[in-house]
Structure 1
Amino acid sequence: MFPFLICNAILLSMKYLTSSMMQASYFVSQGFRRRDERSNMLLSLFSILDRLVGPDRPCHTILWVGIFAFHMALVDQPQDPLVVAAFSLAVHSGGSLLESVEIARRMSQPYHSSFPELLEARKPGSNNALMLKTINFAAMVKTALCNMTDECYVSKAMAKYPKAPSSDLVFIPMSLFLRVSKIFECVGRGTETRFVRRQGRKINYESLARGSLEEVRHVFARIVFTTVYPPNQSNENNVVNQRP
């Protein structure tokens, strides 16, 4: 099913040319080893997504765009894996940042060290320091998302590809920007008032297709967490309760 997903990802990127141009530069810089997910984070993210969705298990556009924004932020400013872990856990928990940071700090599972988007892990500092870094990264993701609506920013990205069409640019509409922003805005604001902690890992595909915020956050966090901290037989039992 992976070819199907890549095909759809390309189509989505073509629809939102901001993403296609920016992600294209990423693929060029990485040599675009098409079959090597081990060192290509974007392909790895899509590969995990491919295992969860398909023609009979659709997802809403906001999930795709959210993944693009998250990855663009990491390409612009690589992060410590603990920051990424805390960020994904905070998204999953509806903004419970302190709890997310504490879980991330207890992680003993090795992260995926071959991704250039991830810095070499360092000894974690205080909870407050990690919370601040996580909030700052959430702001970077929002900036990356904002750039998808910025005509000037897109034009500069397009200038790197002189043969690309310039007359039919399609930008992410403000309505989509606002919906995707809601995925991440809980990070740093504290647990949302109406947030109900999600139970279990089973995906509600009907809710996912509708763009339910709770379901999109759940799947987004699961994709990111699994990409950065891939499970294996020896340590899966130790982290199963920590995973989104």
Structure 2
Amino acid sequence: MLVKQVPKDFDILTTAEPKQVKAAFSGRCIIVGRRFPVCHVTSLNTVVEVSSFSTNSGNIKRITYEPVVGTEGWSEDDFSRWDNSLRRDFTVNGIMYDPFKCIIYDYVGGLRDLRRCKIRTVIPALESFEEDSARILRAIRIAARLEFSFATSTANAIRQLKSSILTLNKTRLQLEVNTMMAYGSSERSVRLLWRYGVLEYLLPFQARYFSNTNLKRQARRSDILLKLLANLDKVTAPNRPCHGGLWVAILAFHLALVERPWSLTVGPTVALALSFGTGLEKAITQVQKLCDAVDKNGKHLWNDQFRSCVKEMDEVVILNDCQSFVDLCLNNVAQLHSAAATCKVMQELNISSPPSDWGVVSKPYFYKANHLFNRALTSNSDDFPDIVHDTYKGVLMNSSFSTNGGIEDLGNVFSHVVLSTLFPSVSSSL
């Protein structure tokens, strides 16, 4: 809110113990976490995270303070807030707000770093990341979302301790990566992960692609993968995330796209088939119908090179190519989910001894992405609906899609992302 962005959620800090919070919200509260227990309270279909002042102080090695003498007006609450803020991960997360008194409390320089657009650890960075290696991923996630840079000490510690994320619990790892990819900052997250050498640990297939294409760590240019993610970010946000299966499908689609040269008609045809679930043959027919379609301004939906390719295509050949493309996408989804395949690529990238079950793509995301691509191979009896000729390049999109992952909504959004990336400059994008 201080940087004029939509918050992903709100965290509440209270003097009540977790069990007291659970009792106060009977039936609507669960306590999660062993080391740092927090309460997830459901209110109006929203989960609010509630933690106790005592949580951190009871689970982390105590800091020894010199005797503190309060000034006039000082109270135990002041000490509790100060004590708690010193145990936060980053200074920007140490800012507290009392909505009843309309007072902002900042004991760690969080407001200063907000003004400077810096991500800085509260305690020395090396010590902070050694204490909890997940903070490395949170640092990148926050920097990507806010478009901040790192303090020098924080950046150096990320590079030095990046391998420590291999010690993370798999569930926590998958949660952190999904938060990077599904909440409107996937493109910036991937750029930062690549810049600091962390991408090899999380998305090794994509790291190998960047390495093979000689993308520099500090590169500002975009390629087809980064453009796909940038267009995904345009339809997602902290308060409007997508199901994890969507970003998995986009990564799988990209790997298929760069696997070998394809006809310009293959990608858009598959995208339309996924959008409407009417099968590849009807998608090919629809592409032909749209070849000369124009929008409300009289401009062709497709560029001249693509339209020429459509008019000259052999339907049998294109159908076979599209089927091969979808099969490759399905195989890529399986590879992204496979711990064995992931570890093999990590070892190719000189990441030694990854855990045997390592991987950031959970089963629900794997199943959803798999289901999405199978829509292209399963034809139903419905014809294509009327096409809306607008900025979505002929694809209907339901703006209310959410983490629930309705397959029709995901198909529409997937197609929107792909077609927005490939058009109007198909040749330059590919």
TM bin (shorter chain): 0.7 to 0.9
Q: Displacement of 1:164 after TM fit?
A: 6.0
The match for 1:116 is: none
CA distance in 2, matches of 1:67, 1:9: 13
Q: Displacement of 1:151 after TM fit?
A: 3.1
List per-residue Cα deviations over 1:92-116 (Å, max 9, x = no partner).
111342232123342651569xxxx
Q: Displacement of 1:169 after TM fit?
A: 1.6
Q: Over alpha carbons, which structure has the higher Rg?
A: 2
The match for 2:416 is: 222
Q: Displacement of 1:29 after TM fit?
A: 2.3
CA distance in 1, matches of 2:239, 2:278: 31
Conserved 8 A contact 2:278-2:375: yes
Q: Displacement of 1:197 after TM fit?
A: 4.5
Conserved 8 A contact 1:21-1:157: yes
Q: TM-score scaled to structure 2, two decimals? A: 0.45
Q: How does 1:1-244 map to 2 (within 5 A)?
A: 3-4=144-145, 5=185, 6-9=187-190, 20-32=203-215, 34-37=219-222, 40-105=223-288, 106=291, 108-110=302-304, 124-163=312-351, 166-167=354-355, 169-170=358-359, 172-191=361-380, 197=385, 203-230=397-424
List per-residue Cα deviations over 1:65-114 (Å, max 9, x = no partner).
110111112232332220111110111111342232123342651569xx
Alignment CA distance shift 1:173-1:48 (3 Å)? closer
Alignment CA distance shift 1:17-1:93 (3 Å)? farther
Q: Displacement of 1:178 after TM fit?
A: 1.7
CA distance in 2, matches of 1:149, 1:189: 23
Q: Report the secondary structure of 1:31's partner residue.
A: coil
RMSD of equivalent CA atoms: 3.6
Task: Between 177-186 and 12-21, report the one with greater CA deviation.
Answer: 12-21
Alignment CA distance shift 1:111-1:59 (3 Å)? farther
Percent of residue pairs identical: 22
List per-residue Cα deviations over 1:170-229 (Å, max 9, x = no partner).
253434322211111021221277x99587567444433311111110010011111111
List per-residue Cα deviations over 1:3-24 (Å, max 9, x = no partner).
4313555799999978610101
Q: Report the secondary structure of 2:278's partner residue.
A: coil
Higher strand share: 2
Q: TM-score scaled to structure 1, two decimals? A: 0.74
Amino acid at match of 1:230: P
Amino acid at match of 2:413: V
Task: Between 3-12 and 151-160, report the one with greater CA deviation.
Answer: 3-12
The number of equivalent residue pairs is: 221
Q: Report the secondary structure of 2:214's partner residue.
A: coil
CA distance in 2, matches of 1:85, 1:149: 25
Over 6 Å off, 4+ runs: 10-19
CA distance in 1, matches of 2:381, 2:326: 16
CA distance in 2, matches of 1:85, 1:164: 39
Amino acid at match of 2:277: G
CA distance in 2, matches of 1:228, 1:97: 19
CA distance in 1, matches of 2:256, 2:335: 10
In structure 2, runs of 5+ residues without a counterpart are: 6-142, 146-184, 293-301, 389-394, 426-430
Conserved 8 A contact 1:17-1:169: no
Higher helix share: 1
| Structure possessing the higher relative contact order (Cα contacts under 8 Å, 6 or more residues apart) | 1
